Every structure is written in C-alpha cells, then in structure tokens.
Amino acid sequence: MINFNFLKYRKIYYFLSTILFAGSIVSLVVFGLKAGIDLTGGSILEIEFEAERPANSITREKLSGLDLGEFSVQPAGEKGMILRMKELSEEEHQKVLEQLKEYQIKELRFESIGPTISSELRRKTKSVIILATLAIALYITVAFGKVARPINSWQLGVISLFSLLHDILIPLGILAIFGHFYGAQFTIPVIVALLTILGYSINNTVVTFDRIRENASRKDLADFGQVVNDSLNQTLGRQLGTSLTTLFPLIFIFFLGGETLKYFSLVLIFGIICGVYSSLFLVAPILFDWIKRKKII
C-alpha cells in the first residue's frame, strides 16, 4: 500500500499551480486565442503539393492579387498547406486554386462559412456553454448536499469551482501558446473538449471528496490531516488508472489523428492531466488548510 504524505508538500503544489495559473493568464493576454472560422466566418483551404511545397512567402505573393482579406498560410504535414481566408464565393475559391495550379496541388478540403452560419454556430455554442455550466453547478450542489462536520458543503462547492477554473484555464493558456507558434485555433471542437473536461474533472474532485467524507465519518476527527492523507492514498490508484487509460487513446489521436482533432485532443490531454492533478494535489490540501485556519479542529 502506498503511503505518501500528500499534505507535507502542499506548498510546492500551490506554488506550481500558481505559476501555471498565472502563466496561462499571461499567455492568454499576450498571445490571445485565435477564433476559428466556425465562430467568426471565413474560409479554410487545405491543399497538398504533388511537387515540392513552395515557401509560405511565395504562396502569399501568388495570392496577393486576389481579395482574400487578411489571410494566413500555414504548412501542414509533409506536403500540405492550410490557407485561412475571408469567406469566399465559389468563383473566388476557384481563382485561388487557379493561382496555385502550377505547383500541382490537390485540394483536400475546402470550407467556407458565411456570417449567417457562423453567427448561428456562435449562438448555439453559447447556449451549450451556459447550459453545461449550469448543469455542473447544479450537480455540485446535489453531490455535496450532505456533509458532516467539520466540512461545510459550500466549502466543497467553492473548492470544486476553483479547481474547475484551474483545469480549464491552464489548457486554454497552453492552447494560446500553440496558437501563437503553430496556428492552433479556438474552435467548436476545442469548446467541446473544454466542456468534456468540466464533466471529467468534477468527477475526480467528487471521488476525492467522497472518500474524505467517508473516512471522516469513520475515523477520529482529531487528526483530519491523517484522514485527508489516507483518502488521497486510497484514491490515488483509481485517479491515476482512470486518467491514464483516458490519456492513452487521446495521445494517439493527437499524434496520429488528422488536423480536425489535433487541438481537440491536445486540450483534452492537458485538461485531464490538470484534472487529476487538482483532484490529488489541490482540492484536498486546500480543504485541509481552510478548515485548519478556521480552527474548527
């Protein structure tokens, strides 16, 4: 049986999380998130060069004569290239292809989303986010409805919400970094990944708190620190086991899956890592410190 003194090193966890949390905020402020065309409207063209892929600057120059709005050129894979442009009509789309014809391109994918559709997608996504957040909040209220002293149910609620924020913000910060260097975008799939993290992470937190409640009702409350440590050690196997089995397939999706699922899986990977980290190293120590400070014990 593993017996790790979780609480002993809690200053280190707090420090690490503070750094990551602050770093994410800085990265979000400095780099910002680049919204995908599914949220803003615009077009995306993925092509593959049969011959050698020309440099980005050459492609840019080739297309400079066309009115494509503010467009970006980004290499993809070995021979591919992704162009992001304003919304294009079919004629404009064909003109773009015509300009690049000499490089023997093959069109892999073209997507053009007009303002009507993107605003509809935005509206739907917004209601999904609001409803999912409400549902999670409701779940927290129900899940922690009954607790025995010295724990207060609202304490558990506040800590859970904080850990959710932690688990969402850090992947977002990482996405912003990837956005700056690799052109990762904030798209509907990314939002879905974030919402999935919400459901997943609250789960881990509930498992931790459930164990603490269970043990607190059985054991002598005089040593709440021991109760917390025991609970964390008991749930350690489950928390690691579950998150690892979920992470394995996601890592394969990230490396082997195509462009569409790349950042979806990236966000999920970091969200799940944060989720298991906060359920093992953050929520219980915070609860411990909170209760200790109030001198309830």
Partner 1 sequence: MLQTKKSYIAITTILVLTFFAANFVYPKFLKLLPEVPFKLGLDLQGGTHLIYQADLTNIEEAERGEAMEGLKDVIEKRVNLFGVSEPVVQIQGEKLIVEMAGVIDPAEAIKQIGKTPFLEFREQKENYQEIVEKNKKTLEAGGTEKDLEDPFQPTQLNGRYLKNAAVVFSQVTSLPQISLEFNEEGAKLFEELTAKNVGKSLAIYLDGTPISAPVVQEKISGGKAQITGKFTLQEAKDLARNLNAGALPVPISLISQETVGPILGKISLEKSLKAGFYGFLTVILFMILVYRLPGLIASLALAIYVIFVLSLFKIISVTLTLAGIAGFILSIGMAVDANVLIFSRMREELREGKNFSQSVEEGFKRAWPSIRDGNLTTLLVAAILFSVGTSFIKGFALTLSIGILVSMFSAIAVTRNFLKSFEGTRLEKIKWLW
| Segments in 31-114 forming alpha helices (H) | 37-40, 56-63, 90-99
Q: Give the closest residue to 175 by CA, choosing from 73, 32, 76.
A: 32
* Per-residue binder mask for partner 1 (CB under 8 A), 249-268, x = binder: xxxxx-xxxx-xx--xx--x
3-class SS at 144? Answer: coil
- Omega within 30 of 0 (cis) for the link into 150: yes
d(CA 201, CA 271): 8
| Smallest gap from residue 294 Cβ to partner 1 (A) | 28
Q: Is 139 an interacting residue with respect to partner 1 (CB under 8 A)?
A: yes
What CA dihedral angle connects 103, 108, 113 and 118, to 10 degrees? -130
Q: Is 244 an interacting residue with respect to partner 1 (CB under 8 A)?
A: yes
| Smallest gap from residue 81 Cβ to partner 1 (A) | 13
Q: Is 241 an interacting residue with respect to partner 1 (CB under 8 A)?
A: yes
d(CA 38, CA 117): 8
| CB closer to partner 1 out of 171 and 189 | 189
| Smallest gap from residue 282 Cβ to partner 1 (A) | 19
Instruction: Determine which residue in the list 159, 195, 269, 286 makes contact with partner 1, applying CB under 8 A.
Output: 195
Cα–Cα separations (whole angstroms), residue 25 to 141, 163, 171, 194, 284: 28, 15, 11, 16, 24
Two tokens at 58? 């050459």
d(CA 280, CA 278): 5
* Per-residue binder mask for partner 1 (CB under 8 A), 20-59, x = binder: ------------------x-------x-------------
| Site stretch for partner 1 (CB under 8 A), options 6-14, 147-155, 188-196, 220-228 | 188-196
Task: Using CB under 8 A, list all residues that contact partner 1.
Answer: 1, 38, 46, 89-90, 93-94, 106-114, 116-117, 121, 124-125, 127-128, 131-132, 135-136, 139, 143, 188-189, 192, 195-196, 198-200, 202-203, 206-207, 210, 234, 237-238, 241-242, 244-253, 255-258, 260-261, 264-265, 268
